[in-house]
Structure formats: C-alpha cells, structure tokens
Amino acid sequence: MKAKKIILFIVEGITDRTCLGFVLDKLLSNQLVRFAITGGDITTKTGNNTSNIVAKIGNIIRDFSGNVFTAKDFFEVVHLVDMDGAYISPDKVISSEYDAPFYTDDNILTNNVEGILRRNRQKVEILNRLISLNKVKTIPYSVYYFSCNLDHVIHNHPNLTRREKNQYANKFEDRFITCPEKFLDFLNNHDFAVEGDYDDTWSFIKIDKRSLQRVTNFQLYFKRSKNSRNDLEKRLAV
C-alpha cells in the first residue's frame, strides 16, 4: 500500500482544531490530517510582513516536522484564516468602550481605532501575498477564510469569549460525530458559502463590508481539491 501523506491545516487556536479535527480526519481519510496551531493570528503578529511571511509559514511547517518529517511526507498545507473585517474602509472602525474589537455586520467597535486600522493594513498586505502563494518550498499551499471569523461562520457568533469558544466547539464536534459527511452540507449553505473559483472568492471578500459578514470559501477546498488531489496523487506516485 502507498503510504499516506500529511495534509497540514494551519489554524489559530485549539478550538479551531476541536471544531474541525474529527470531520476533516474522516472526510480526508485517504491522507493524514494534522494541525499546526499558531496560538494567534500570524497575519497580524508584530514583525510579520510581506517580506517574511512565507518564511514564517515555512517555520511553522518545520516546527511541526521536527526531525520526523521531510517535505516529501506532505501532501499539502491548508491555511485557515479569520478575516476580522480586514478589508473594510477605515470609517467602519468606530470608537467605543470595547477593549477587544467587537464585530458587527457593519462595523468594528473598539477603544483603539488606530491600532485596529494598523492591524487591518498589515493583515490585508499579508493576505494579498498569501493568496498568490501556491507552494511553500515544494509543498502545495492554499489559504481559505472564515468571516468575520471561524466562530461567526461555524456558530453564528463572532464575539465569543474563550470559555464560550470551548463550549461551542465541543457542541459542534458532537453534531457531526456520527455523520461527518453532513459537514459538507453545512459548509455549502447558500446563506454563507461564497460561489466561484478560488480567485473569485478572494475578490468577493475584499469588497465593501464582506470581510465582516458571515461568509466562507472553505467549501471550495473540497470541490477544488477533489480534482487537484487526484492530480497530486498521480504526480506523487511517479
């Protein structure tokens, strides 16, 4: 039997893995699903920029690999990002009493307007770089979004506390534990599944207030990769 290869999902937090780990493992059982948890948003981390972000992702892969895996052990790397309203116009960032950003479908409310505007500029620049990236070294790479964040799409709550994130993540995992294939039906809900190809969905999210609203292009991964995985498997078998 041909050895399975690793599909590495890069996510921000452990609740992302809790939500998605089981269903992805079942849906992509022809390969080995693994997660690299970054402990925060690498697109907004201080010091990260368009010049070093590809190297930063390479470091994430290297840290995951340790002395165990090499590039040949990977099937692909899939990066899941929160949009956080990054592409909205500056006038949609509103001064308020909130310490942490509070997301609505129309605005970001915050007591640090300049900080959020600076964060959004950095995030936009880095995302625009990642959208054009198709490999990290020799490993195929793609990036998909949840808007305004994963909790918004998966749970319909964009402003959960850490405790609430854990509670909702466990409930979501339980929801699909006996029928993981229904996760695809969920992702393809016309209320939030963005239509079009990879470039189309990224063009869509950049317009107006869409990076605040409840939409995702992650369903495209399963459609897009159905053919690309077959092509990759053929190339890898050579």
Q: Percent of the chain at pLDDT above 90?
A: 92
Going through 173-225 in order, the beta strands assigned E by DSSP cover 215-216
For the stretch 121-168, pLDDT in tens is 999 999 999 999 999 999 999 999 999 999 999 999 999 999 999 999
Q: How does residue 235 score in pLDDT terms, banded at 50, 70 and 90?
A: very low
Q: Tell how far CA 144 is from the center of its chain.
A: 5
Average the pLDDT over 205-231 and give the result.
Answer: 86
pLDDT at 227 over 60: no
CB crowding 212-237: b at 16 or more within 10 Å, else e: bbbbbbbbbbbebbeeebeebeeeee
The pLDDT value recorded for residue 226 is: 61
Q: How does residue 189 score in pLDDT terms, banded at 50, 70 and 90?
A: very high
For the stretch 33-85, pLDDT in tens is 999 999 999 999 999 999 999 999 999 999 999 999 999 999 999 999 999 99
Cβ-proximal residues to 79 (8 Å cutoff; 6+ apart), any chain: 9, 10, 57, 130, 141, 142, 143, 144
The torsion angles phi and psi of 121, rounded to 5 degrees, stand at -60, -45
The pLDDT value recorded for residue 76 is: 97
Global pTM value: 0.93
Contact between residue 148 and residue 212 where contact means Cβ atoms under 8 Å apart: yes
Report which residue type is found at 66.
Answer: G
DSSP string, 73-109: GEEEEEEEEE-TTTTS-GGGEEE-S-SS-EE-SS-EE
